Amino acid sequence: MVMESLDAFRQRARDWLAGNLPRLPADAQPWNGMRVGTDEARRAKELQALLFEAGFAGLCFPKEYGGQGLAPEYQRAFGEEAQSYEMPLLFNTPTFTIIAPTILDLGTEAQKRRHLPAMIRGEELWVQFMSEPSGGSDLAGAITSAKFDGDNYLLNGSKIWSSYAAFSDYAICLARTDWDAVKHQGLTMFIVKIHQPGVEVNQIRQSDGGAEFCQEFFDDVPIPLENVLGKVNDGWTSAQRLLFHERSASGGASPYAVGVSGRRRDTVEDLVRLARARERSDDSHVRDLIAEIHVLQTVQAQTIERVTKGIASQGLPPTSGAVPRLFGSLNGVRRSDVTFEIAGTESIAWERADSPSTVGNDYIFRQAWSLGGGSVEMQRNIISERVLGMPREAAADRGIPFKEVRRNAPSK
Ligand SMILES: Cc1cc2nc3c(=O)[nH]c(=O)nc-3n(C[C@H](O)[C@H](O)[C@H](O)COP(=O)(O)OP(=O)(O)OC[C@H]3O[C@@H](n4cnc5c(N)ncnc54)[C@H](O)[C@@H]3O)c2cc1C
């Protein structure tokens, strides 16, 4: 069969989008993944189903798992055409860009056939059960436990900060399956159905009114053997794979995203518009700030490209993904600061009749970009130890059975 040319594909996508999806209003707020609820999840599933029926879903996924088997440039072209339309962006992270590629890499044939087409059809939203109340940075220190009872693994413990869990369907969950093994060797990665007896999902109310973060409690939740992702007690390898995809996704390099954000959340044009609206575009300090962001974004884009190509050609180790991840985090924080400064007092106070400014909320939330997907300190650790080969930091839990590691949280 002759492959459709990129131009023909682009035109077909443009025509279909114009006839089938709602356009975003000109003043639509940039998507930032926050303030998401049940209605947004339902809408994202509807939109994803529409894309699937039209043959525009899962563009870079293999055909045998419900995708279109196309090259990344087709996905990029579709993303460009779709920018001004309502898109199911909730599926991007973690469902399509982190979890789906991890299942592609590590899943059994049955797991791939069961879940990937369901994601692409818009039926399954997924989340990550990684962080625990005892700490998220020390992922290998997980104390949520799964014990085999002869038929199933029984999951007990708690996970936290799981984005969107209350209105999602499945999770990838890292749990301890061997307490006699050393820290990194007694873990197993599981596929967990979220809404089932024994799983309690509590939404965490945030200061901005949102509640997309959740904490889950597990009480003897049965997980069938067939839901092990990767190998039993080799969950650290599975987690590494997942983190690799997470770093690639947050660096903007995933070919599996369903378009870019409806409106890019980080354009310099947005800052220029803001400066004009505040009548500050002639202010030389404001112009300097906008130029600084322009430079940072240019360097970020080139860093992503350089590192992505380096990893692909094996010139750089996969852990180098921490470099654009770190740069992106620092850049995101700086951009929030600059936006806040340009917006001035209107970002914290507004007239009753006006719609509230999002700049203030974004500013309060900005530190999240230094935590989600692994904190900047952990990215620096990865770069120093596993990219530059510097000595590893001291650890009191290395080389001893995990059950002997001192901790302040109870274990089962
Ligand atoms: C927007 C967002 C979305 C998220 N989504 C999810 C999700 O879907 N699923 C999920 O499981 N988690 C999620 N998280 C949680 C996130 O992964 C954790 O916040 C992160 O890993 C840090 O863990 P912690 O908050 O428990 O902080 P801790 O691990 O307690 O760390 C506290 C501080 O100490 C520093 N620190 C810790 N250890 C070291 C060290 N060895 N060297 C130097 N500094 C160190 C950290 O950098 C941090 O600044 C999300 C977080 C955010 C902000």
Q: pLDDT of the chain along its 412 residues, tens only?
A: 678 999 999 999 999 999 999 998 877 766 767 677 888 999 999 999 999 999 999 999 999 999 999 998 999 899 989 988 999 999 999 999 999 999 999 999 999 999 999 999 999 999 999 999 998 899 999 999 999 999 999 999 999 999 999 999 999 999 999 999 999 999 999 999 999 999 999 999 987 778 889 999 999 999 999 999 999 999 999 999 998 888 777 666 688 988 765 445 567 888 998 899 899 999 999 999 999 999 999 999 899 889 888 988 999 998 898 998 899 899 989 999 999 999 988 888 776 666 666 788 888 888 888 898 889 999 999 999 999 999 998 888 888 999 999 877 554 4
Residue 268's SS3 state is: helix
Indicate the fold that domain 28-125 takes in CATH. Answer: Butyryl-Coa Dehydrogenase, subunit A; domain 1 (1.10.540)
Q: Give the closest residue (by CA) to ligand 1 atom 40.
A: 378
- Span 127-234 CATH architecture: Beta Barrel (2.40)
What are 72's two structure tokens? 């990344």
Residue closest to 163 by CA, chosen among 255, 55, 91, 85? 91
Q: With 0-12 CB in 10 A as exposed, 13-18 as middle and 19+ as buried, what is 396?
A: exposed
Question: Does the CB atom of residue 332 touch ligand 1 within 6 A?
Answer: no
Q: Give the closest residue (by CA) to ligand 1 atom 24.
A: 136
Residue 405's SS3 state is: coil
Which DSSP state fits 65? G
**95-to-20, 60, 236, 393 alpha-carbon distances in Å:** 24, 14, 20, 33
Residues found in the chain: 412
Which of 36, 102, 137 has most ligand 1 atoms within 8 Å of its beta carbon, as the pocket-test mutant? 137
CA dihedral 108, 167, 250, 134 (to 10 degrees): -90
For domain 265-387, give the CATH superfamily.
Answer: Butyryl-CoA Dehydrogenase, subunit A, domain 3 (1.20.140.10)
